[in-house]
Amino acid sequence: MMTNAFLISQLMARYLCRDLSVDEEKVLMEWVEASPGNKDLFHKIVDNSNWKRYVEQASCFDLDKAKREMKARIVHERRKMIWRKIYQSAAILFIPALIASLVVYYVSDREVLAPAITPVAVMPKIQPVLPGDQKARLQLSTGAVVDLGQENNSELEEDGTDILIADNRVKYQESIHKENNTLLYNTLVVPQGGEYSLELSDGTVVYLNAMSSLKFPVQFPEDKRIVELEGEAFFDVQKNGTPFIVKTPRTQIEVLGTTFNICAYNGESTYATLVKGTIRISTKNESMLLKPSQQAVIQQNSEKIAIHQVDVDFYSSWHKGKIYFRDTRLEDIMNALSRWYNIQVSYGDEEVANLRFGCYVNRRKEIAPFLNHLKSTGKVRVVQRGNKIYFYSIN
């Protein structure tokens, strides 16, 4: 009911700004004609005196004052919440202590264990499926492996290049003396449920998504910059006159200085989405130029490049914690999510896996609200057991 009211308001506002397409005006007018009540409301809203009424009433309220009041109240609520947590954790500590003392009391008194007491402590609790976090492994040219976690802030050195690890990013400093001509390669590997970012020696920034790896030289040679990607990464390439090449198992992408996203997981289609600049994407037999807001798709079992216009935010906002899907198969949505959340997904039948949804997931949070939202569409039955998720048809 409410979403319909919101939609009618949007059509109405745009009608007042003379901004409706023919089709949209048709929809609005159909709604107006649907009942005398709707018609009255339409005329009331279009009427100048009612608009004046709104402006007058709105002018009675002081937004800045309200904002200050609101802030103070949220601070107050936060404080209350913290106290509640303290009480809760105190209770959690206290209950086992109580049980233990009761047991001791019983044992010492009757010299038998009272079996009725123990079940109190075993309260079943559904484990929430928590989101992943910042983690990765860095493989140095020597073969040594460094674990990069959230707390790891340190410095490394490889062949005269300083490597700084801080704030969930590993950064390669540009070396002053470049006479060494053998290239040393490092590899950054991000596991399931992880993400990490990397600044290469030329200043290019790469955000690496879960279950992805990037192989790159510690220092780039003078003539070209080549890195190898498997999985998904968002690139912000520093322009310096030499071409920057991203090799994936099935494509090669060449750029000068641009921002783009590549998704090239094994066994899935490859997607290259351009935010800014130009890139050239090549497969074995084809090569094409991409313009901003375009996306190149290479299907799983083909070598052909298909290009279309997309909303780039949909494909690149994952590194800011937001994942969007538009008219996407449930199985594809869950494949992408299971790289980030530690979950195993099964489907009752083929039909459920092929259902299409548009949705948004805040991947910095647990998965439960998203699953509830899927349930509430009434199109699918969702059963969760620990980290296993099952989808069934409704009937």
Distance, C-alpha 322 to centroid of its chain: 4
Residue 6 binding another protein, by CB under 8 A: yes
Query: How far apart, in Å, do the first and last CA atoms of the chain sit?
Result: 25
Residue 23 binding another protein, by CB under 8 A: yes
Helix axes 22-34, 36-46, angle to 10 degrees: 120
Q: How far is the CB of 219 from another protein (least distance, A)?
A: 39
**Distance between CA atoms of residues 25 and 331, nearest Å:** 37
Three-state DSSP class for residue 181: coil
Residue 126 binding another protein, by CB under 8 A: no
Specify whether the CB–CB gap between 177 and 160 falls below 8 A.
yes
Distance, C-alpha 259 to centroid of its chain: 18
Q: Which two tokens stand for residue 178?
A: 């470049």
Q: How far is the CB of 41 from another protein (least distance, A)?
A: 5
Please count the residues of this chain forming the interface with another protein, following the rule CB under 8 A.
Answer: 60
Q: Residue 113 CB: number of other CB atoms within 10 A?
A: 11
Nearer to another protein, 219 or 273 (CB): 273
Q: Out of 172, 235, 341, 370, point to the residue binding another protein (CB under 8 A).
A: 370
Nearer to another protein, 54 or 185 (CB): 54
Specify whether the CB–CB gap between 214 and 172 falls below 8 A.
no
Residue 34 binding another protein, by CB under 8 A: no
Nearer to another protein, 60 or 176 (CB): 60
Strands 169-172 and 194-199: parallel
**Distance between CA atoms of residues 60 and 48, nearest Å:** 19
Name the one range near another protein by CB under 8 A: 15-23, 86-94, 97-105, 171-179.
Answer: 15-23
Q: Residue 46 CB: number of other CB atoms within 10 A?
A: 12
Q: Which two tokens stand for residue 206?
A: 């790469």
Q: How far is the CB of 255 from another protein (least distance, A)?
A: 28
Site for another protein in 306-345 (CB under 8 A): 321-322, 324, 326
Q: Out of 33, 43, 68, 69, point to the residue binding another protein (CB under 8 A).
A: 69
Name the one range near another protein by CB under 8 A: 66-74, 129-137, 291-299, 346-354.
Answer: 66-74
Beta-carbon-side half-sphere exposure of residue 126 (alpha carbons within 13 Å)? 10
Specify whether the CB–CB gap between 276 and 264 falls below 8 A.
no
Name the one range near another protein by CB under 8 A: 227-235, 279-287, 300-308, 362-370.
Answer: 362-370
Site string for another protein, 228-267 (x = CB under 8 A): ----------------------------------------
Q: What residue ranges bind another protein (CB under 8 A)?
A: 1-3, 5-14, 16-19, 23-24, 26-27, 30, 37, 41, 44-45, 48-52, 54-55, 57-58, 60-61, 63, 66-67, 69-71, 73-74, 77, 321-322, 324, 326, 358-362, 364-365, 369-370, 373
